[in-house]
Amino acid sequence: MKRTFTFILAALAAIALFALLVHAVLVAAHVSEPAASTVYGATPRRLWATAVAALGLVGVVIGGLALRRSRRNGTGNRRVDPIVALVAGLIAIVNGGLNLAVATGGPGSGNGVIGGAAALVLGLIAMAFAAAALAHSRHNPSAD
């Protein structure tokens, strides 16, 4: 019971931190104000932002698993997963930033600014996980 409560509390803290980071990116990109008229449905920029946010999420998952595996002893090449997470994170950061740069309105404008900000944050997290896993595998000779 105590472990489940701790897990739920940690998940809520992670969600709150993610929301805070996305808001900070939107404020920094000067697109934090909602649109005057809301656009409903899928637009090309929303689909683009959703795709790169999903790629960033995949990078976070692969990077997290690579970080966990890098702490274990074992055989095999442990450098492929962190490199994949690093590349996925970099693609998410570049495309998320590009989406925010070309956005002409805030949330609800159909430009995908929320997805772009989420891709930027998830890409940064994926790259941090990948860098930590690569650094750990470099210092742990039994991981290669």
The predicted-structure confidence for 95-116, as pLDDT tens digits, reads as follows: 999 998 888 877 888 888 889 9
Overall average pLDDT of the 74-97 stretch: 85
75 has pLDDT over 70:
no
- The reported pLDDT for the residue numbered 140 is 62
> With contact defined as beta carbons under 8 Å apart, do 72 and 144 qualify?
no
The structure tokens 């970099």 sit at 90
The structure tokens 């809520």 sit at 12
- What is the number of domains present in the chain? 1
* Number of other CB atoms surrounding residue 106 within 10 Å: 18
Cα-flanking dihedrals φ and ψ of residue 8, to 5°? -65, -40
Q: What are 24-32's contacts with CB under 8 Å, separation 24+?
A: 25/100, 25/117, 25/120, 25/121, 26/100, 26/106, 26/107, 26/113, 26/114, 26/117, 29/100, 29/101, 29/103, 29/113, 29/117, 31/100, 31/103, 31/105, 31/106, 31/107, 31/111, 31/113, 32/106, 32/107
141 has pLDDT over 70:
no
* Distance in angstroms (rounded) separating the CA atoms of residues 134 and 121: 20
- The reported pLDDT for the residue numbered 136 is 80
Domain that holds residue 129: 2-143
Percent of the chain residues past pLDDT 90, beyond the cut: 32
